[in-house]
Amino acid sequence: MFEQRRERRELVVSVTLAETFLLLVFLVWYVSPQGELPDWKSVAAEKQKRVEELERESKRLREEIDRLQKINQWWKDNFGVDCPASYEELVQVLRSPNARSAVLEAGRGYAACEAANILIEAEVRQGSVRITYGPAMTGLQRWLAQREGTFRLDEAPLENWDQVKVLASLVRQYYEWRARGGSPCRFDYKLVYHTKEDYYDGRVILEQDFYPAGIRRALP
| Mean pLDDT score, 12-38 | 56
Q: Answer yes or no: is pLDDT of 26 > 80.
A: no
If you average pLDDT over residues 143-161, what whole number do you get? Answer: 80
pLDDT band per the 50, 70, 90 thresholds, residue 11: very low
For every residue of the chain, which 3-state class applies, written as one string? CHHHHHHHHHHHHHHHHHHHHHHHHHHHHHHCHHHCCCCHHHHHHHHHHHHHHHHHHHHHHHHHHHHHHHHHHHHHHHHCCCCCCCHHHHHHHHCCCCHHHHHHHHCCCCEECCCCCEEEEEEEECCEEEEEECCCHHHHHHHHHCCCCCCCCCCCCECCHHHHHHHHHHHHHHHHHHHHCCCCEECEEEEEECCHHHHHHHHHHHCCCCEEEEEEECCC
- pLDDT (mean) for 63-82: 80
d(CA 80, CA 98) in angstroms, rounded, equals 9
- Average pLDDT over the chain, rounded to an integer: 79
Does the pLDDT of residue 1 top 50, yes or no? Answer: no
CA neighbor of 217 nearest in space, from 206, 203, 205, 208: 203
Mean pLDDT of 163-174: 92
The tens digit of pLDDT for each residue in 92-120 reads: 776 776 665 565 555 577 889 999 999 99
**Looking at the DSSP assignment, which residues form a beta bridge with residue 120?**
133, 189
Of the two residues 189 and 68, the one the predictor is more confident about is: 189
- Segment 164-189 shows an average pLDDT of 93
Distance CA 83, CA 89 (A): 9
Q: Residue 46: pLDDT above 50?
A: yes
Q: How large is the average pLDDT for residues 158-166?
A: 91
Q: Does the pLDDT value for residue 146 go beyond 80?
A: yes
pLDDT > 60? residue 191: yes
